[in-house]
C-alpha cells in the first residue's frame, strides 16, 4: 500500500516526530502551569536559612540585611522570594507571574519553563516551515480565497515564534547572570541588591550560573 511504501522510505518519520513534539509541548505546558513554583510554607521558616541557595549567597550580601516577614501571608521570606498578589503566596527565587500559564515562575518550575519554551520554539519553527512550503503566491483573488487560512496561520506562527524566541533569549541571558526578571526590573527597590557593594551579588560566572540553574 502507499502508506507502507511511505513508511519504508522514511516519509512518516518526520510527521511522527512533529506530533510527538506537539504532545510533549502540551504536557510540559500543563506540568509547568499546575506544579508548585516554590511556594514558601510556614513550616519551612526554620529551614529557610539552611537551604543551599542561602548558604551560597549570604556571605556575598551585607550582614545588616535581615529576612523580613511578608505583610500579606505573614511567612518569613527567604532571600530572593517575593509575594505574588495573583497566587496569594510567597514564591522562592521569584521570577515573574506568567499570564500564559496562569502560574508563577519560580525556583521549582523555572528550569522546566525554559525547556517548555525551547520545545515550543522548535514546534513553531517546524510549523512555520511547513506552512511556508505549502504557499505558492499568485496575484489573484481566487488564490487568496483558497489560501487565506494558510496565510493567516503562517502570519500567526511568525508572531508567536518571535515572541517565544525573544522570551527564551531574555531568560537565558538572565539565567547566565544568575538574576531573575523581578530582580532585573526592580533592582533599585530590592533591599539586598540596593545595599550590596556588588551590582549582582549572586553572579558566579556564566558556566557556574547555568550549571547551578539546570543541574
Is residue 98 part of the annotated active site? The answer reads yes
What pLDDT does residue 121 have? 97
Decide: 49 and 190 in contact? Cβ < 8 Å.
no
Q: What is the pLDDT of residue 8?
A: 58
At 41 the pLDDT is 83
- For residue 152, the tally of other CB atoms under 10 A from its CB is 11
Q: What is the mean pLDDT of each run of 10 residues along the chain (215 residues)?
A: 58 84 96 94 56 44 61 85 91 94 94 97 92 70 72 91 96 95 90 82 93 91
Active-site position among 73, 98, 104, 215: 98
- What pLDDT does 56 receive? 42
- Pure H helices in 35-136: 52-57, 110-133
* pLDDT for residue 12: 72
Which three-class secondary structure state does DSSP give residue 103?
strand
Beta strand spans in the chain (E): 82-84, 89-91, 96-98, 103-105
Q: Which residues contact 105 (CB under 8 A, 6 or more apart)?
A: 32, 37, 95, 96, 97, 98, 113
Contact criterion met (CB below 8 Å) for 94 and 182: yes
Q: With H, G, I as helix, E, B as strand and everything else as coil, classify residue 15.
A: helix
CA distance 92 to 7: 49
DSSP 36: -
Tell me the backbone φ, ψ of residue 67, rounded to 5 degrees: -65, 135
Amino acid at each position: 500500500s502507499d502508506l507502507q511504501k511511505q513508511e519504508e522510505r522514511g516519509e512518516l518519520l518526520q510527521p511522527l516526530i512533529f506530533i510527538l513534539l506537539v504532545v510533549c509541548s502540551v504536557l510540559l505546558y500543563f506540568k509547568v502551569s499546575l506544579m508548585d513554583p516554590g511556594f514558601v510554607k510556614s513550616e519551612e521558616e526554620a529551614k529557610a536559612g539552611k537551604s543551599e541557595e542561602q548558604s551560597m549567597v549570604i556571605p556575598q550580601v551585607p550582614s545588616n540585611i535581615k529576612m523580613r516577614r511578608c505583610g500579606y501571608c505573614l511567612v518569613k521570606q527567604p532571600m530572593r522570594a517575593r509575594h505574588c498578589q495573583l497566587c496569594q503566596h510567597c514564591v522562592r527565587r521569584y521570577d515573574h507571574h506568567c499570564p500564559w500559564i496562569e502560574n508563577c515562575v519560580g525556583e521549582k518550575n523555572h528550569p522546566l519553563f525554559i525547556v517548555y519554551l525551547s520545545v515550543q520554539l522548535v514546534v513553531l519553527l517546524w510549523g512555520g516551515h511547513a506552512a511556508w512550503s505549502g504557499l505558492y503566491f499568485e496575484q489573484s483573488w481566487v488564490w487568496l480565497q483558497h489560501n487565506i487560512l494558510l496565510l493567516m496561520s503562517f502570519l500567526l506562527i511568525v508572531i508567536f515564534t518571535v515572541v517565544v524566541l525573544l522570551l527564551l533569549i531574555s531568560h537565558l541571558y538572565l539565567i547566565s547572570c544568575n538574576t531573575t526578571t523581578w530582580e532585573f526590573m526592580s533592582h533599585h527597590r530590592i533591599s539586598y541588591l540596593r545595599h550590596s557593594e556588588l551590582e549582582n551579588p549572586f553572579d558566579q560566572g556564566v558556566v557556574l550560573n547555568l550549571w547551578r540553574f539546570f543541574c
